[in-house]
Amino acid sequence: MLNSAGRGEDRSKTGKTQHSGESSQTPHDEAFKKLLQTFFAEFLELFLPELACQLDHGHTRFLQQELLVDIVGQEARQLDLLLETRIREGAAFVLVHLEPQSYRDDTFHERMFIYFSRLFERHRNEYRLMIPIAVFTMDDEREERDTLVMKLPEHDILRFQFLQVKLRRNNWRDFINSDNPVAAALLGKMRYTKKEARELRTAYLRMLLRLRRELDDARLALIMSIADLYYDPSQEEDEAIVRELREMGEEEEAREIMELMPAWKRWGYEEGIEQGIEQGIEQGIEQGIEQGVEQGRLMEKEKVARNLISLGLDTPTIVKATGLDSQQIEAMRQKTK
């Protein structure tokens, strides 16, 4: 991915952001890329609905990575999120360049123009339209420059403007009734206050209950793993939510939420204790329950890891999402081949 929050940065006296030549992907970057690859149409429907209506998603396919030399940063970068689709009114193919940006960069609008220019140079005979889209995932809500203008007093030479989606500018309450999986995955990246955190978490869990009826296990696991990267609740917080639902008489909803949570979030609440009791008959109740809880956690972690492997996520992202070590993930990956 072109822009990684993991790159080193400093600011010179001019205020311009400087980046080291070494670039690395973070689990957040890789997970966000996979989200867009899996739910591209849903992403556009949620944040760019007018554009979504103009595209024929039945002809959408992701293209191979393109290596472009970044003149601004004087380093080569890969365009990971490049896809081909069609417009509904016409047979021309469209090239869409999605660029996640996780930190502030005063030259970002210039780099977007450079990427666009390189793509135009390479593909102008193949595609009638090229659409650059920037997705800002940082917490900073300040305005970002989205245009590059060059002109004389009496003549416009160039005006380039890319589409942008700034997650933090969206209020989380506007999305809690949505059945769009992208809304659930990114709810924790939207604007909310500390006082609203518990309410946001409850709304997110209810969204998952609805999505559970529409998505397979692998896609649901992807949504949950990404959401946990952006909002990581404590044990006490989730336990309090379930307790409050039961106190309000929402026993069925509380039960479904407990079933939905991965075992390392439920701390072996059901599956592990049940196995522990069985082992406790032979080994002693207290020790057996403890071992059963641990076994339940591990089994659920491995189940989710297998789902994420099937979706193509890389090892560091799965390690971050499940807590398993990289050797365990690689061993599971080999078994799936």
Do 107 and 207 lie in a common domain? no
The gap from C-alpha 98 to its chain's centroid, in whole angstroms, comes to 13
- Torsion sign, CA atoms 253, 215, 197, 165: negative
Which residue would you say has higher pLDDT here, 301 or 276? 301
Residue 209 lies in a domain: yes
Q: What span, in angstroms and rounded, lies between the C-alpha atoms of 4 and 247? A: 44
Which residue would you say has higher pLDDT here, 251 or 166? 166
Q: What pLDDT is recorded for position 48? A: 93
Do 135 and 229 lie in a common domain? no
Q: What pLDDT is recorded for position 126? A: 83
Tell me the pLDDT tens digit for each residue of 105-121. 788 889 889 888 988 88
Regarding beta strands 163-166 and 129-136, do their DSSP bridges make them parallel or antiparallel, or are they unpaired?
parallel
Could you tell me the two tokens for 28?
């957040």
Residue 47 lies in a domain: yes
Do 116 and 223 lie in a common domain? no
Do 56 and 165 lie in a common domain? yes
Do 158 and 210 lie in a common domain? no
Q: What span, in angstroms and rounded, lies between the C-alpha atoms of 323 and 267? A: 13
Do 114 and 160 lie in a common domain? yes
Q: What pLDDT is recorded for position 39? A: 93
Helix (H) or strand (E) holding 60: strand 55-62
Residue 288 lies in a domain: yes
Q: What span, in angstroms and rounded, lies between the C-alpha atoms of 46 and 53? A: 11
Instruction: List the domain range (segments joined by +) for residue 209.
Output: 173-180+190-298
Which residue would you say has higher pLDDT here, 174 or 69? 174
Tell me the pLDDT tens digit for each residue of 14-44. 333 333 333 444 556 677 888 888 999 999 9
Residue 174 has pLDDT above 90, yes or no: yes
237 contact partners, CB below 8 Å, separation of at least 6: 197, 198, 201
309 contact partners, CB below 8 Å, separation of at least 6: 318, 329, 332, 333, 336
Do 163 and 41 lie in a common domain? yes
Boundary residue ending a domain (107, 134, 169) = 169
Residues 233-261 have a mean pLDDT of 77
Residue 121 lies in a domain: yes
Tell me the pLDDT tens digit for each residue of 39-79. 999 999 999 999 999 998 888 888 766 555 444 444 555 55
Tell me the pLDDT tens digit for each residue of 195-228. 998 889 989 988 998 998 888 888 888 898 888 8
Residue 80 lies in a domain: yes
Sequence letter at residue 92: A
Q: What angle do CA 217, 336, 32 make, to 5 degrees?
A: 50
Do 148 and 230 lie in a common domain? no
Do 164 and 198 lie in a common domain? no
Largest CA distance in the chain: 90
Mean pLDDT of the chain, nearest integer: 75
Residue 230 lies in a domain: yes
Residues 6-15 have a mean pLDDT of 36
Tell me the pLDDT tens digit for each residue of 121-142. 888 888 888 888 888 887 777 7
Q: What pLDDT is recorded for position 211? A: 92
Number of structural domains in the chain:
2
Do 89 and 159 lie in a common domain? yes
Residue 279 lies in a domain: yes
155 contact partners, CB below 8 Å, separation of at least 6: none
Boundary residue ending a domain (169, 204, 228) = 169
**pTM, rounded to two decimals:** 0.68
Do 147 and 248 lie in a common domain? no
Residue 310 lies in a domain: no
CA distances from 213 to 35, 209, 210, 220, 265 (A): 19, 7, 6, 10, 21
Q: What span, in angstroms and rounded, lies between the C-alpha atoms of 264 and 100? A: 30
Sequence letter at residue 69: V
* 115-124, 160-169, 306-315, 322-331, range with the lowest pLDDT: 306-315
* Neighbouring C-beta atoms of residue 145, cutoff 10 Å: 15
Do 54 and 89 lie in a common domain? yes
Boundary residue ending a domain (169, 204, 224) = 169
Q: Which is nearest to 227 in space by CA: 23, 10, 39?
A: 39
